[in-house]
Structure 1
Amino acid sequence: MPRHVTDAVRAKLEQFEGLRLAAYHDAVGVLTIGYGHTGSDVRPGLTIDRARADQLLRQDLAAAEAAVGRLVKVPLTDNQFGALVSFAFNVGVGAFQGSTLLRKLNAGNYDAVPGELAKWNKGTVNGKKVAIPGLTNRRAAEAGIWAAGAQVSSNYVAAVPAPAGSLLAKPETLAGGVSVVGAVAGAAGNGGPMAWALAAAVVLAVAVGAFYFVKRLRESAS
């Protein structure tokens, strides 16, 4: 049975991509339409309706879902699966397949995923690789989705605990992350995508900082 992202993750992906019914050039100059759809069928001046945009999204999303399901060899919770589908949808299946992120994850290194996601925030503009704010925010939000998936189940996917010793498996890590998200979003006045992107970035920073703090403690004790 093909695995699909949850409705909540799909809603976040639609928010990340935004809906444009007329063809436009994205931040790196690629012709795009609908919810981030690209390809030879997108041409200058093309317009579509909402139903066609939804159809294209279903097609593109199905390809990303199938790729994650095929290429990832370790168990994933719904949110972990959704975060990777969003990532593959955005960077392309080929890039995901050849990524260090996938290699580390398949080796069982779940904790490497947020940091690897953060590396994919650049695009080629005028022949140079530059950090793109929208991609930086998206990678942080995807890391937040990933971290929120440590203990999630659906009607057909059993909850899979993060590996023993993983920071994501620790209740105090997740509780702290949730409180940080709430505090940042509240301070931002529930200001929409940017507020939640900022919140996710803070969660990522806390998780990465905690990882290296624990690592130093273990090294000093050995």
Structure 2
Amino acid sequence: MAWSDDACSLIKQFEGCKLKAYPDPATGAAPWTIGYGATGPKIGPGTVWTQVQADADLQERVTALGAHITSEVRIPLSDEETAALVSFTYNVGTGNFDHSTLLKKLNAGDIQGAADEFPKWNLAAGKVLAGLVHRRSGEMAEFLLGANFTVGSPTNPEGVAA
């Protein structure tokens, strides 16, 4: 499961790890966040984790997201594409991923069109965040690193060898 290691690396790069809960950067309040961006009803002011807890939480959520993506994407994915989609979905949530134009284009075989959707997800609380711009750029680069532009696909209709 090489995609899992890549996804964890991407997420760690963009989320960072804090072992003491902190307020959401976009709102300055709830949801409280800990570890590699974990939120939930058991996380609030004063919550503290160990590094082992943070790493275990990340791996558990990455594995679950990988399974979710596999169930939603109808075309074969490379490890890099999967890792990028896991990082993306880790940040935006499964509901947003499931209803995204990115997923629709991907399932239609439009790899470049799907990749072009990453930068559009750069808002938090209605504001463009530099961190999200950077994250989407990294996820898009990872996604395209493993992109398979097959001959005759919507992305490569002229049949130019990939």
Partner residue in 2 for 1:20: 18
Match of 1:143 in 2: 140
Q: Cα distance, 1:8 vs. partner?
A: 3.5
- Larger relative CO (CA 8 A, sep 6+): 1 or 2? 2
Extract unaligned runs of 5+ from structure 1. 151-160, 172-222
Q: What are the residue-to-residue correspondences of 1:87-126 with 2, within 5 Å?
A: 87-124=88-125
Question: What amino acid sits opposite 2:96 in the alignment?
Answer: A
TM-aligned CA deviation for residue 99 of structure 1: 0.7
Return closer, same or farther for 1:7/1:119 CA change in 2, 3 Å cut-off.
same
In structure 2, runs of 5+ residues without a counterpart are none
Tell me how far apart the structure 2 counterparts of residues 74 and 61 of structure 1 sit (CA, whole Å): 20
Q: Secondary structure of the equivalent of 2:38?
A: coil
Superposed CA RMSD in Å reads 1.8
- Give secondary structure in 2 for the equivalent of 1:22: strand
Structure 1 residues 66, 105: CA separation in 2 closer, same or farther (over 3 Å shift)? same
8 Å CA contact 2:123–2:129 kept in 1: the answer is yes
| 3-state SS of paired residue (1:144) | helix
Q: Secondary structure at the match of 1:16?
A: helix
TM-score by length of 1: 0.65
CA distance in 1, matches of 2:4, 2:54: 19
Match of 2:151 in 1: 164
Which residue does the alignment assign to 2:34? Answer: 33
Once the 2 structures are TM-superposed, how far is the Cα of residue 7 of structure 1 from its aligned partner? 2.3
Query: Is this contact kept in 2: 1:86–1:142, CA < 8 A?
Result: yes
| 1:25–1:31 contact (8 Å) kept in structure 2 | yes
* Distance verdict in 2 for CA 1:170–1:79, change over 3 Å: farther
CA distance in 1, matches of 2:143, 2:83: 8
The structure that is helix-richer by fraction is: 1
Shift of 1:63: 2.1
The 8 Å contact of residues 4 and 65 in structure 1, kept in 2 or not, is answered as: no
Q: Distance in 2 between matches of 1:28 and 1:136?
A: 14
Q: Could you tell me the percent identity over the aligned residues? A: 38
